[in-house]
Amino acid sequence: MGTVIALSGQVGGAKLADGLRRLRGRDLTVIVNTGDDHEVFGLAFSPDIDTMLYTLGGIAGPGAGWEPAGETYVLHEMLHRLGSEHRVRVGDRSLALPLLRSEALREEYPLSRITLGFCDTLGIDARVVPMSNDPVRTVVITDDGHVSYHEYLTELECAPVVKGFLYAGADVARIPDEVLDALHAPDLEAIVLCPANPYHTIQPILAVQGLREMLRECGAPIIAVSPIVGDRALKGAAGKMMQELGHEVSARRAALEYYRLIDGFVIDSVDEAAAADIRACGIDVAVAPTIMRSEDDRVALAQAVLDLAEVVRARKQAERDA
């Protein structure tokens, strides 16, 4: 057993990262999307990092993994009573990480160090690190102009038609040392692209200057898990975006979002018929239940991903030997 890198974000991505953590513990490094980061009240919100910390720390809400279990909203009610026009409903417990993060950022600690500190406090053995300590902001190009992803999600409720995406700052953002260390680990076993929106969760990570190339060059099998099951996204707007970008909404299309990057792709059992088409693109395929309802589901999917990585590794070895 070697070390594992996961690229992740959102609730589904956090669930698979948790499965991998249960299998690999401290040998897992999770690189988390920060393209959705934003400020409210001058505080540094990192939704994907916080979702990851709640999930891996075992304190995520069962029905709403993006916030701690048992969340309450009395501060939000008070803010509205006092005339606040903020539309986002920030829970009482959910303000803790942004408050502490903002304080540490003001003291000039890098985001990666701050995030690893949260891992320590929450007893998370895996290493959760942001894709960069420099700001990258996902911009949605809509038929009504450019907006930040955060604005698209909250103010605009994902309504405008999506024409494309920009990852502002990604071309000059630096890869954190913790990510470089993980990429250079001599026993790197697999790189996992977790099931999450390709456009605003995984692609922003890949857009960080040099990261995509380093992933390819490090030689470890790169395995993605489809965020599309049947003809729709499990959660969120991936299906809607895929359609508006002119694509069919399918596991096959999801695989093509990572064409020339991934070696293997895990699709849900309901999409088994798509396996041949995806294999025809030169991508190894595994079929597994991808809907993670229980902790066992997370571990089983994580194991399926690592198994596929082993298949890819063996095939590559055989090709080299031939």
Strands 3-8 and 28-32: parallel
Give the nearest distance from C-beta 187 to a second copy in angstroms.
31
Q: Are 114 and 53 in contact (CB under 8 A)?
A: no
Give the nearest distance from C-beta 80 to a second copy in angstroms.
9
For the chain, how many residues are written? 322
Q: Is 262 helix (H, G, I), strand (E, B) or coil?
A: coil
Give the nearest distance from C-beta 69 to a second copy in angstroms.
11
Q: Tokens in use for 246?
A: 């002119």
Give the nearest distance from C-beta 72 to a second copy in angstroms.
6
Nearer to a second copy, 72 or 317 (CB): 72
CA torsion angle 162 163 167 168 (round to 10): -100
Give the nearest distance from C-beta 52 to a second copy in angstroms.
14
Binding residues (CB under 8 A) for a second copy: these are 41-43, 68, 70, 72, 74-75, 77-79, 81-84, 92-93, 95-97, 99-100, 102-103, 106, 117-118, 121-122
Contacts of 130 (CB under 8 A, 6+ apart): 31, 32, 34, 46, 49, 111, 112, 115, 176
Give the nearest distance from C-beta 97 to a second copy in angstroms.
7
Nearer to a second copy, 71 or 297 (CB): 71
Nearer to a second copy, 120 or 321 (CB): 120
Nearer to a second copy, 72 or 269 (CB): 72
Q: Give dist(CA 232, CA 290) in Å, integer.
A: 13
For residue 288, what is the enclosing H or E element? strand 284-288
Nearer to a second copy, 117 or 135 (CB): 117
Give the nearest distance from C-beta 51 to a second copy in angstroms.
15
Nearer to a second copy, 94 or 197 (CB): 94
- Using the 8-state DSSP alphabet, how is residue 62 labeled? S
Nearer to a second copy, 57 or 160 (CB): 57
Alpha carbon of residue 110 to chain centroid: 20
Nearer to a second copy, 108 or 143 (CB): 108
DSSP of 187-241: TEEEEEE-SS-IIIIIHHHHHSTTHHHHHHHT---EEEE-SEETTEESSTTHHHH
Give the nearest distance from C-beta 57 to a second copy in angstroms.
9
Q: Give dist(CA 313, CA 318) in Å, integer.
A: 9
Q: Give dist(CA 258, CA 252) in Å, integer.
A: 10
